[in-house]
Amino acid sequence: MVNRRDFLKSASLLSLGALAACNNKETAAAGPAVEANSTDKYFGLQIYTLGNELYAGNLADNLKKLKSFGFKYLELAGYDVNTNKVGGVDFSEFKKMANDAGLEIPSSHVNAPGLFSGVAGRESRDGSDGQFNRSMINKVAESFKKVAEDHAKQGIEYVVHPMMAYLNTEDDVKAFAEMLNKSGEIFKAAGIKFGYHHHNMEFARMVKGVKGFRLPTVLTPLTAADGPMIMDLLMDNTDPSNVIYEMDTYWTVMGQQDPVVWLQKRADRIKLMHVKDFVVLGDSGAMNFQKIFEQFYKNGNKYLFCEIEDIDSGKQMQRVEASMKFINAQPWVK
Ligand code: MG
C-alpha cells in the first residue's frame, strides 16, 4: 500500500522520468523570454504560494504589490470555517483589501471541514483510522453548508476542494466521488460552482485485488488492464453540473500525464487551472505551457492561477514576480 506522503515523496523523485515523458522541445526551444512589456494579461495567483510572506508587514500593501506585478485575480487558501477568516483576516476585510488593490477573487480552496482531522484523514496518527468510507459522505457534504454560506456572501464564484482523502479501494474512490457530488449540490444551491483540485495520486490506478493504488512511472507504466485510474473514477462518478475540475499542470506531469491530452478529452470537466512549474514559471522547460494555455482557452476557460511550492522559502514574492514577468512576456497568454 502506498500512503499519500510516500506517494508524494516518491513522485518528487520522478522528475527526470517526468521530464523524459513530457519534455517539450518546442517550449524548450522557444528561447529566453523577452523583457516583460505588457501587464494586460488576465492572470491570477493562488495565494497559498506566498505562505506567510503575504501577511508579512502590511497585507494591503502586499496585495497592491501583486497587482503591480500584473496579477488580476486571486484564488484564496487559508479560509477557516470556524472563524470566517482568511489567513487570520476577516473574510470581508480581506476581500475589500483585494478589491481596493484592483484584484478580483473568483475562487477559494477549502478542504471539507473535518475530513482531514481526527478519525477522518491524513492527520490521524496511527494510520489505521484515517480512511474515507461511505458512512462519512453525508456528514462531510453537510459540513460544507457554512462554507457555502460564507463564500456566497463574498460573491465567490468557485470553491475548490484541494486534496484527496485516504482511499484504499475502488469503492472508497466512488464514495469520495459521491461526497464531492453531494457537496457540489450544496454549493450549487448557494449559487457557487464547486470544483476538485488533484495532485499526482489521482493518476494512479486501483489495481484489482490489491489494497491501495499504484503510481505509474516511466519504467512501470500502467494501463487500463491494471485497473481504473482514480481521476477517471472521480470524473465519471460526479455530475458535471455539481463538480468541475481544476487541473494542476505540475501534478499532471508528475502523474506521468500530458495536460493537453486531459484538456482535450475532459474539456467539459476542467474549468480552472493551476499554472505550476518546478519553481519559477517557464524556468524548467518541462511544461508545455503554450499548448496547455491554447487548449485551455479553446475550451472556453479563463481562470489561470500561478502556483509555486516551497512556500517557506522566503523567496516566494520574488518567484511570483519572476513568474508573472514570464507570463507577461508570452504572446499566447491572453
Ligand atoms: Mg495546485
CA of 197 to the centre of ligand 1 (A): 7
Q: What is the mean pLDDT of residues 287-311?
A: 97
Higher-confidence position of 308 and 170 = 308
Cα–Cα distance measured from residue 46 to residue 275, given in angstroms and rounded to the nearest whole number:
9
Q: Is the pTM of this model over 0.75?
A: yes
Cα–Cα distance measured from residue 241 to residue 193, given in angstroms and rounded to the nearest whole number:
8
Is it the case that residue 29 has pLDDT exceeding 70?
no
CA of 42 to the centre of ligand 1 (A): 18
Range with the lowest mean pLDDT among 27-31, 39-43, 320-324?
Answer: 27-31
pLDDT value of residue 117 = 57
* Amino acid residing at 225: A
User: Per-residue pLDDT tens for 118-173?
Assistant: 443 344 433 434 578 888 899 989 999 999 999 999 999 999 999 998 888 899 99
**To the nearest whole number, what is the mean pLDDT of the chain?**
87
CA of 103 to the centre of ligand 1 (A): 20
* Amino acid residing at 75: E
User: Per-residue pLDDT tens for 207-250?
Assistant: 877 777 888 888 888 889 889 999 999 999 999 999 999 999 99
- Confirm if 42 and 306 have CB atoms less than 8 A apart: no
CA of 209 to the centre of ligand 1 (A): 31
CA of 162 to the centre of ligand 1 (A): 8
> For the chain, which domains are there?
4-328 (3.20.20.150)
Inter-CA distances, 209 with 130, 213, 215, 226, 231, Å: 21, 10, 16, 10, 19
